[in-house]
Amino acid sequence: MIEFDPTRPKWEQIADVLRARIADGTYPPRTLVSEVQLEAEFEVARGTVRKATAALRDEGLLVTTPGMGSFVVDAPPRA
């Protein structure tokens, strides 16, 4: 669990954590990013987690397959 900054939306802060985990290899390519696990880890509503994963999907870091979940892409884009 992280200590949330009250001046920023929680979903942005969760997206930052996930982005860092992808960048440092904690979540290697093809890793399932479980909304259920993130919801429990960060103690937030599922909608908050979905906003965070949607942001990473928009950035090209995650791909979502209906019925299967969100996965880290094979080759994340370089910053």
Query: In order of start, what are the domains of the chain with their CATH numbers?
Result: 10-72 (1.10.10.10)
Per-residue pLDDT tens over the stretch 33-75: 999 999 999 999 999 999 999 999 999 999 999 999 999 999 7
- Whole-structure pTM value: 0.90
Residue 54 near residue 60 (C-beta atoms within 8 A): no
Per-residue pLDDT tens over the stretch 4-36: 999 999 999 999 999 999 999 999 999 999 999
> Given this model, what pLDDT does residue 76 score?
52
Structure tokens at 65: 């397959």
Q: Which amino acid is at 30?
A: R
Q: How many CA atoms lie within 13 A of 35 on its CB side?
A: 18
pLDDT band with cut points at 50, 70 and 90 for residue 78: low
